[in-house]
Amino acid sequence: MSARPLLGRVALVTGGSRGIGRAAVLSLAGAGAHVAVGYERRSEAAEQVAAEARAGGVNAVTLRADLADPAAAASLVSEAASALGPLSIVVNNAGLTRDGLALRMSDADWAAVIDVDLSAAFRISRAALRGMLRGGYGRIINVSSVSGVRGNAGQANYSAAKAGLIGLTKALAREVASRGITVNAVAPGFIDTEMTAELTDAQRSSAVAAIPFERLGTADEVAATICFLAGPAASYITGAVVPVDGGLAA
C-alpha cells in the first residue's frame, strides 16, 4: 500500500487548531491530503498547524467559522472547496462542553452544545455531500465520544450530542453507501488533550483507574483511526463506530 494513500485528496477538519483536530490535520496531511483547518478563535494555533502540514508538501489553509451560526457550515464547505478543490474527506471534530447536572443546566447551555457538537456536523455533512455525490466518492468521519456511547453524569447535553452523532453517522451511511461514500464515527475515551488537562488529580486518577489500559489515550492514536477511515483500506467500512478508549466502554 502507498505510503501516502490520500495523495491529492482534499480534507476539511473542523476544530483543527488543537487536540484531536490538530492531530487529524497532520495525520491526513502526512498521508498526502490537502487540508482545510477549520477554527473559531485560535487563529495562531490554526496557522501553526497549517504551516506544519504544508511543510510536508501539501496545501493547507485556515478557515474561521462560528459553527453555532447555522449559515456558517455551508460557507465553510464552500470556502474549503474554493481554496483547495472539491472535498473528498470531512472530519466533524469541532465541539464544546457546558457541563453541569441536568437539574441545573440552562436551556442556553443545552442549546450551545447541541448546536456546535451535533447540528453543525449535520449541516457540514449536508453541504459536503452535494459535491461528494457528484464525484461518486467521499469519506465523512464524525468524532463522537465514549460519553455518547454510555452517557456521563454531568454531561447530559454533551452525551446527547455525541449520541446524536452516532445516529447521524448510521443514517447517513445508509443513505449514501450506493454512491461510493462512507460515513463512520470514532468514539474517543479519555484522551490527553487540553480538555482533560483541566481534570483535577483526583479526577484524572479515577479516570485512569477505569481504563483497562490504565492510561489516557493520545490525540495521535485517535487521528490514526480517523486517517485509516479516510483512506482506501476502509472502503468497505461504513456506519461503524470505532472506540478509541483503551477498553473503557468494553
User: Is 236 marked active-site?
Assistant: no
Q: Which amino acid is at 84?
A: L
Catalytic residue selected from 39, 137, 158, 236: 158
Q: With DSSP H G I counted as helix, E B as strand and the rest as coil, what are the percentages for the chain, rounded to 5?
A: 50, 15, 35
Nearest C-alpha neighbor of 243 from the set 174, 159, 147, 170? 147
Cell triple for 197: 488537562
**Contact present, 138 and 86 (Cβ < 8 Å):** no
DSSP one-letter string for 226-237: HHHHHSGGGTT-
d(CA 187, CA 241): 7
Q: Could you give phi then psi for residue 157, rounded to 5 degrees?
A: -70, -50
Task: With H, G, I as helix, E, B as strand and everything else as coil, classify residue 181.
Answer: strand
Q: Show which residues are catalytic.
A: 158
